[in-house]
Structure 1
Amino acid sequence: MTQSRYAAVVAEVRDAVSARTVGLVAGVLLVQLAFIGSYVGAFHDPVPHQIPVAVAGAHATRTADGLVGLDGRPLDTSVTGSATEARRQVEHGDVAAALVISGSSKHDTLYVASGGGVSLATAVGEVVDKAEQSQGRSVATTDLVPLAEGDARGLTGFYLVIGWLVGGYLVSSMLGIARGARPATRGRALVRLAALVPYAVLSGLGGALLVDPVMDALPGHFWALGGLGVLLVLSSATVTMALQVLFGAVGIGLTVLLFVVLGNPSAGGAYQGEMLPGLWRTIGPWLPNGAGTSSVRELVYLGGDVSGQLLVVTAYVVLGAVVALVAAPATVGPRHAASRGSRAGQA
């Protein structure tokens, strides 16, 4: 190839592939590698970490001290006054399990709640069974809060939350692609935010409709789940819009990083937070993915208080909306004004 021909090819490549394009491709590569690293890092070696367990019955204090002193501290034990109170704590999600020590035999009882997390119930059962055998005792496990018949492995709530969050950031991304990542004015930003509300309502109620009366996977909680879904859709939609206003098209990649790369593996779906490594265990409750998944379990199975989780999700909705409005231009910028003038001249 002659030097002039080579120079022509290089010039053609530079013209076709801009520095901005190279930067975007590099960004996609980084997100992809972060996706692999986050999911594999979270799930490749799940280990129990301070799972809350109540202990009741004969020699409860001594047993609790022995369990909390196990290598790696897989359990975090507390002593409760009676077997009845221990059962109540499990049924309401205050603890993941309860061990009741028999005073008349070497056969004890472990109460678990698979509805609060299958991986937790399984892990506690394995740890306690091994500890009991080392003391020459045996344990029988009773599931006080079993999964609904249509909720295999207890993953329905997790996938429901993912579906809502995906819908939220997709609709916000599509609006950005169709009308520009950055709204021309603050008024336009307000209109775009308002347009997200009916979508969130339809999406939230639609998801609840599918998992409750249609598929009977999480029966009997239509309105509670629907309301949660509306908030979750709005949380990802408003945050996506805010990131687009701040960073343009790059904001979509940041959304994927937040809700998919970090949010999904830390949400407590396949493995609950106590089974995850430190990073994912720490950030899980503070992201809509984790707060939403925990809320579904509380609403459907444990009947617990979800005010803390709802506060987290609502904070994302408010923060996303406020940032989107504040960061949007107060008036039409020169570029948009010129575009308007051009269209008016053509008319």
Structure 2
Amino acid sequence: MSPVTPTPHHTVPASRRVLAVMVLVPLLAALALWAFAWPATRMAPRDLPLGVAGPAAAAAPLEQRLASHEGAFEIHRYADEAAARTAVQNREVYGAVVATPQGPHLLTASAASPVVAQLLTQAISSQAPPAARAVPVTDVVPTPAADVRGAGFGASVLPLALAGVAAGALVSLSGLRGGRAVTAVLGASVLVGLAGAALAHSWLGVLAGNWWAAAGVLALTVAAVAAGVAGLHALLGKPGIGLGAFLIVLLGNPFSGAAGAPQLLPEPAGLVGQWLPPGAGSSLLRSVAFFDGAGAAAPALVLSLWAVLGLTAIAFTGRRTTPAHPDQAPVRASAPTSAVTYS
């Protein structure tokens, strides 16, 4: 007679699989709705860096009126308009109110955030006396003409996040290990960076500044995401891919502040977002594309940490699982065949 084939002991019953789908899908939908809708419906300035410039006697009333918005602004004092302009260009503040004999003069930087520039314009104009003339506004660092509202820039975060997650998942599930996995992650990231710069910089005009610098930032962002996902897979197995996708897509994308500013998001979403690759990548890209690299150090460090730690996990796991003699095929012991015998 033929040998008896043992039945698997860990087969999940169909009823449990149906129940798992019915529970997990609504749970994921609820998490996604919370992650995307909660920050969007709670946008407001929270310790938003704002400058006040001019003689102390004229600037003090402006500072007091701004301070009346409790917790909204973080006030920085500057001696004159030139110092305030420099602070805006260095990304120390999002804008500045300059006290002049003719009244307040607002400096903004729509390239840092069109939403914040509009918010500051409305806030300062609403504080002017009814009979006063309109508050003049100077956009010190404007957005590109092809993306005045910044919609194209904000929309670039999700494709980068998805590309990184896809690269990390494909490298993990294709069985690549060690140096080959590292090469695949870095190669895919570089190509995505070049393609992204060609589209966003050369064709759409969403980005300005040095073309190669923009391509480098895009590549580093994708590398941080891909290495993070592949590294989590190397450490945790397949659940690591799900955890990476959750951190990058469901948290990193809506918490990035790319469509507005991190200081407009409810706490601690803005802070968390800047420690994840989408938020750090969008901040670094703004600095490189519009501000000549000002304020680039912190987000560049965050992205580098994600990339280095992820690649280290990939390389370490690959070395640990590589056999000592790769040319020698592993010997598989054949399991004994049990047959039914009859006396």
Q: TM-score, normalised by structure 1?
A: 0.82
CA distance in structure 1 between the partners assigned to 2:156 and 2:140 by the alignment: 24
Given candidates 46, 51, 63, the residue that maps to 1:49 is 46
Q: Secondary structure in 2 aligned to 1:114? A: coil
What does residue 314 of structure 2 align with? 324
Amino acid at match of 2:154: F
CA distance in structure 1 between the partners assigned to 2:109 and 2:233 by the alignment: 42
Given candidates 162, 171, 174, the residue that maps to 2:170 is 174
CA distance in structure 2 between the partners assigned to 1:159 and 1:257 by the alignment: 19
- Unmatched segments (≥5 aa) in structure 1: 1-12, 334-338
CA distance in structure 1 between the partners assigned to 2:137 and 2:322 by the alignment: 66
What does residue 37 of structure 1 align with? 34
Task: State whether structure 2 residue 218 is matched by structure 1 residue 218.
Answer: no
Moved more, 321-330 or 237-246: 321-330
Q: Secondary structure in 2 aligned to 1:67? A: helix
Q: Secondary structure in 1 aligned to 2:137? A: strand
Relative distance call for 1:85 and 1:171 in structure 2 (3 A) is same
Given candidates 113, 119, 138, the residue that maps to 1:123 is 119
What does residue 73 of structure 1 align with? 71
What does residue 339 of structure 2 align with? none
Counting matched residue pairs gives 317
- Unmatched segments (≥5 aa) in structure 2: 1-10, 324-328, 335-343
Amino acid at match of 1:269: A
- Contact (CA 8 Å) 1:205, 1:226: kept in 2 or not? yes
Given candidates 135, 138, 143, the residue that maps to 1:142 is 138
CA distance in structure 1 between the partners assigned to 2:12 and 2:306 by the alignment: 41
What does residue 7 of structure 1 align with? none
Given candidates 309, 318, 342, the residue that maps to 2:299 is 309
- Contact (CA 8 Å) 1:52, 1:96: kept in 2 or not? yes
1:109-128 Cα offsets, whole Å, 9 max, x none, are 11111011011111112222
Relative distance call for 1:89 and 1:329 in structure 2 (3 A) is closer
Amino acid at match of 1:317: A
Bigger share in helix? 1
Relative distance call for 1:137 and 1:214 in structure 2 (3 A) is closer
Given candidates 159, 162, 187, the residue that maps to 1:198 is 187
Q: TM-score, normalised by structure 2?
A: 0.82
Task: State whether structure 2 residue 246 is matched by structure 1 residue 271.
Answer: no
Identity rate of aligned residues, in percent? 25
- Contact (CA 8 Å) 1:244, 1:252: kept in 2 or not? yes
- Contact (CA 8 Å) 1:87, 1:111: kept in 2 or not? yes
CA distance in structure 2 between the partners assigned to 1:311 and 1:41 by the alignment: 28
Amino acid at match of 2:259: A
Q: Secondary structure in 1 aligned to 2:258? A: coil
CA distance in structure 2 between the partners assigned to 1:92 and 1:69 by the alignment: 23
When the two chains are superposed, the root-mean-square deviation of aligned CA atoms in Å is 2.9
CA distance in structure 2 between the partners assigned to 1:64 and 1:224 by the alignment: 39
CA distance in structure 1 between the partners assigned to 2:74 and 2:209 by the alignment: 33
1:18-69 Cα offsets, whole Å, 9 max, x none, are 56x8557745543332111011110013111122111122424413531342
CA distance in structure 2 between the partners assigned to 1:245 and 1:31 by the alignment: 24
Amino acid at match of 1:330: R
Q: Secondary structure in 2 aligned to 1:204? A: helix
CA distance in structure 1 between the partners assigned to 2:115 and 2:245 by the alignment: 26
